[in-house]
Structure 1
Amino acid sequence: QESLRKITHTLATKNEEISNFVCSLKQSLDNLEANSTRVQEDLESEFNSLHSVLDEMKENMLTRIKQERASRTYELQLSACSKALESSEELLELANQTLCSSGTDGFTQAAKDIKDVTMAPAFRLSLKAKASDNMSHLMVDFSQEKALLQGLKFLPPATPEIQLSECQVCDNTVTVVWTLAEPDSKIDHYILEHRRTNHEGLPRIREDYPWMVVEGIREMEHTLTLRFDTRFMTFRVRACNKAVAGDFSEPVTLETHAFTFKLDSASAHQNLKIEDLNVEWDGTGGKIQDIRKEKTRTNSPMQSPARSALMSPKRAPTARPNRDRFTAESYTVLDTAIDAGQQYWEVRFDKESKAFAVGVAVRSLGRFDQLGKSSASWCIHLNNWLQQSLTAKHNNKARTLDCPIPSSIGVYCNYDEVLSFFNAKTKQLMHTFRTKFQQPLIPAFMVWNGSFSVVTGLQVPSVVQSGQRKNSGTSSSNASLT
């Protein structure tokens, strides 16, 4: 049976791989059809655009030739010269006739007429042309342009290669670095795509998350600031010139090293209102209508709505009991366990809360246990009931902390050696528990007459890691609480 089970598992794995490959081929065929149609349309558009430019240039140059011809035609007009030639021929005929005549009176009159005509402006025209008939300056030579057009070909840009060793994942940012096999001066920009995934290795066709696109990158690296909610992220990049985008690089998958969890509303104290990662204390616990129905009990001051809203969580009404719910003051995450490595998350809370606590607890934390009051939990506790105080609690021991109360707290858990609390904004260390945990831990929270929200998907800040390494060799002043 065990051998058959292994063979069945192998076949199922292979079947999934073949199924993914078939889906990949189908997707590639669809993409091929769509991309070939797109590039054909783009080519038609480019040539139509080129034809339009050439037609426009042709019309402009023809218009220039026509204008030049009209201008020179006007300058080379024949009317005045024709009139002068006609007058000259008439005068020549008159002069010949006068020379042949013997009459003195006729000779004198002819000489006077010839003199009057030769003094006319048309008769004294310049015999030098005002314009040339040469139009060679409007000739063109497109031999170079023809050679350039004949040299046109498909020029996809080079395909980038992501340098996995140079990519960095830290402080909730990812820096992706890539190179080109050979320089390509025609590249205008790059397009980077990234996709969240919970699978290591090459991307799958049937992924739960879509590709996210970052365009217009001018350098061969890019830094993204992200909120991580998956274990891995896949990246790919391609280059674009003025005309076309090239092929995508081989995708690479980077581990995010981020801790993500959700709040389990089913285990929450009945007076806590849970919406996603936000928690608010509701003193009525949804039972105010039930209290009003019990007319015989509404006159009791212990059961009044006003008193219920301020009642201590340890004495809160327990109507509609549920064995899976905490009945003390704790609210804990039960679906995410920490059993190795380094994790970090932050909590933003209302400083006006009457009480608030954040920390970790072992998974077997009792339903009646309170954070910090047993050996199964460690926390920082804000007391805002009579006077404001901030304390570190573990195993029913408390240490008052001499530091300002922040608006949000960062929790750093190194399962093998330390649990530290920080001012999430300034990263100032507030308190450290030094211990090697023996059981899986879960994030734990408590609030009374207040609210808080949890920020997950965060990496361990580099300043926190460096500070922990610096202090790892020093003795802890919190030994009494560990």
Structure 2
Amino acid sequence: ITLLEELAWFSSYLNAISSSFQQQTLENNLTNLVKRNSELENQMAKLIQICQQVEVNTAMHEAKLVEECDELVEIIRQRKQVIAVKIKESKVMKLRKLAQQIANCRQCLERSSALITQAEQSLKENDHARFLQTARNVAERVAMATASSQVLIPDVNLNEAFDNFALDFSREKKILEGLDYLTAPNPPSIRDELCTASHDTITVHWTSEDEFSVTSYELQYTIYTGQTNFISLYNSVDSWMIVPNIKQNHYTVHGLQSGTRYIFFVKAINQAGSRNSEPARLKTNSQPFKLDPKTAHKKLRLSNDCLTMEKDESSLKKSHTPERFSGTGSYGAAGNVFIDSGCHYWEVLLGACTWYAVGVAYKSAPKNEWNGKNSSSWVFSRCNNNFLVRHNGKEMLVEASLQLRRLGVLLDYDNNALSFYDAMNSQHLHTFDISFLLPVAPTFMIWNKSVMILSGLPVPDFVDCPEQQDGGCRQQDSPYSSGLKGCN
């Protein structure tokens, strides 16, 4: 009995749990269904609103069509009246001139007829004396009339009377036949492959399918902050720079920040409205620089273009490693720029060089010390088979390939970061987190062979990925003390 009671209780318990579970499931499904119904109602309300707006817009367009056509008909009516008046005025002028000529001809004809009658009567005179008396006067008048017969030719030009006016509406008819419902132009397309950049300019090129219906273009741009919601980004009007009334399909923007990525939109505009292109992300190149001969050690040779530095191998002691922290040990040179903003990238072609230090330094950094020994410089170094980063006399080993031949340096001054990369393998090596206080200059030191500087480069895409960076140099975690133990 007890077992049966327990089974009954357990069954009741299971039923209760099942009922509770079913109830909870039903409540959740009901909540989801109510939410979906609400979403559908909102969607249907929006669709109904759009339908109403379509009706309103269509009515507006129809009214506009009637208005534009009526205006066009009124212009034609006015021009018809003006041309009709000109035709009537031309007719009156020509008829008045012809009437005057007809009157002159009639007078000449009457005088000529009277003279003919008088001459005929004289010829009929049989009395010689009387004939001589009248014939002389009549003969002179006939001779004069004959000599002046040119006056009787009408001054009428049939070409002027009939061919000097023509109605040619062929051009207008062709325009009228081409009348159509004008819509906003199709969105233009930014051609990334045609766009070019320098360290402070970007030239944007675009194409448009409706080039002949576009009255102008408008270019909009802003600094790209990593925001992926372009609609929200576009609606933040305050952050956008606008270049209006562009007539060509390209434009060069000046005064941009070096090594910075921008978002560009192009808007095609006509009387019906405008449409935007898809966003394009374009970036400026880094600030170009060369090696400054004034900062170069006397035992370094710089190329004529100041982009290559070479160590005088004869001065390198064969018995031990390079001089330590002495005035003769800082075989280096600095770039001829001081950077205080923006994002900048350069590369160092290392070749066969196995002793070097590359980084940045304040102007106040001591000139007779290795870069990285003091608090004013940060470097990535190679000492034979060891790679390390060094700052303020502390150093930390870094994993890198002995085949490292192209060292990439990214200085993101505004975001307080200095990063190093194996540029050939797109591999991140190290990042310093630095709170920059002063402008910094690129610095380079070598103790054997030579290196070449490549500056003014665009920031490669592979350095834009935050997940590739390791959070910088945490000196408090470094297992090394001051000095160059890593180079021994």
Q: TM-score normalised to the size of structure 1?
A: 0.42
Larger Rg: 2
Question: Counting helix residues as a fraction of each chain, which structure ranks higher?
Answer: 2
